[in-house]
Amino acid sequence: MAGFCLLAAGLRVRAQPPHGVAFYDADCLYDTVPSPFGNDTRYLPQGEMRWTGERYRRKVMQTAAVIDSLGLPLVGLYGVENESVVRDVAAACKGDYAYLFRTTDSYNGLDFALFYFGDRFFPDRVEAGHFWMTAAGELRGAGRVCLLMSASDRYIGYKIEEHRRQHPDERLLVAGRTAGAEPQRCGLSEPLAAARRAGRGTRRAGNRWEMRSNVLIDTAFRVVRGDVYARRWLFDPSGEAPWATYTRRRYEGGPGANLPVFCYFR
């Protein structure tokens, strides 16, 4: 875990605590039931990954532990197969999270969910499409916001520009795959830019880190802090890479090959 800064237990502020948003790619959280829609044949008990009920329950508990550990009012999640999976994760969370789910009709059957504190965020519009999901509403103390989550670098720039045209009254938060965006041109700041320059990332690719997941924040907000969320229990025994659920087809039993990202803002 060299080069990573662990998140402090709390932020000492005299005024109202900052708002917080996080994003976590759960890395293929399928259930064990054949899907009539997406292609989940690899992740079935008889599939090549030998995905059993016991392995499923372990990953659900690990994903819930990540959400609880983040402890933020907005936690975007990608890589869940269906709402039944999301309900299982919510039930396993110790925090009092509500959730939003929409299917994106992706070929791999993986979708988004938003876990949120119901006394902090009051959603009134939820939309989803191919590799994206948005949730808009009032964030207490911050006004009207919209969280746009993306699993594709290819379409994210277009989705940001479309949102700016259609909803100019909403302050925009973007999470997930953002490499195709032009943040400054779209009125967004990059809270994780310093972490990326320092060599940190969310996923290990050979001998280097990649910032596969990211967070962008509307410039109407002031960023307090943004970084990759690193905890020792999210790393494999070597401490050099996230503890994957699988290495190729070998079951490792970890939460997944990705680290979460987070941002505090005012």
Residue 15 burial (10 A CB sphere; 0-12, 13-18, 19+)? exposed
The mean pLDDT of 137-157, rounded to a whole number, is: 96
Residue 5 clears pLDDT 60, i.e. is over it? no
Q: Is residue 154 part of a domain?
A: yes
Q: What is the pLDDT of residues 87-106, one digit of tens each?
A: 999 999 999 999 999 998 78
End-to-end C-alpha distance for the chain, whole angstroms? 29
Residue 37 clears pLDDT 70, i.e. is over it? yes
What's the confidence (pLDDT) of residue 211?
Answer: 97
Q: Is residue 79 part of a domain?
A: yes
Radius of gyration of the chain (CA): 18
> What total of structural domains would you count in the chain?
1
The mean pLDDT of 245-262, rounded to a whole number, is: 97
Band the pLDDT of 6: cuts 50, 70, 90: very low
Query: What's the CA gap between 235 and 127, in Å, rounded?
Result: 34
Cα 203-208-212 angle, rounded to 5 deg:
30
Band the pLDDT of 8: cuts 50, 70, 90: very low
Q: Is residue 6 part of a domain?
A: no
Percent pLDDT > 90 in the chain is 88
Q: Is residue 130 part of a domain?
A: yes
Band the pLDDT of 1: cuts 50, 70, 90: low
What's the confidence (pLDDT) of residue 4?
Answer: 58
Band the pLDDT of 14: cuts 50, 70, 90: low
> What's the whole-model pTM score?
0.93
Cross-strand bridge partners of residue 121 = 139
Query: What's the CA gap between 198 and 206, in Å, rounded?
Result: 17
What's the confidence (pLDDT) of residue 54?
Answer: 98
Residue 76's nearest CA partner among 132, 118, 160, 6 is: 132
HSE-up (13 A, CA, CB side) for residue 104: 24
Band the pLDDT of 36: cuts 50, 70, 90: confident
What's the confidence (pLDDT) of residue 106?
Answer: 80
Q: Is residue 145 part of a domain?
A: yes
CB atoms within 10 A of CB 70: 23
Query: What's the CA gap between 246 and 165, in Å, rounded?
Result: 42
Q: Is residue 2 part of a domain?
A: no
The mean pLDDT of 16-37, rounded to a whole number, is: 94
Is the distance from CB of 135 to CB of 63 less than 8 angstroms?
Answer: no
Q: What is the pLDDT of residues 191-234, one digit of tens each?
A: 999 999 999 999 999 899 999 999 999 999 999 999 999 999 99
Residue 75's nearest CA partner among 62, 63, 83 is: 63
Residue 156 clears pLDDT 80, i.e. is over it? yes
The mean pLDDT of 160-171, rounded to a whole number, is: 97
Q: Is residue 266 part of a domain?
A: no
Is the distance from CB of 172 to CB of 148 less than 8 angstroms?
Answer: yes
Domain coverage including residue 65 = 19-257
Q: Is residue 232 part of a domain?
A: yes
Q: Which of 21-30, 35-44, 130-139 has the lowest mean pLDDT?
A: 35-44
CATH number at residue 67: 3.60.10
What's the confidence (pLDDT) of residue 109?
Answer: 87
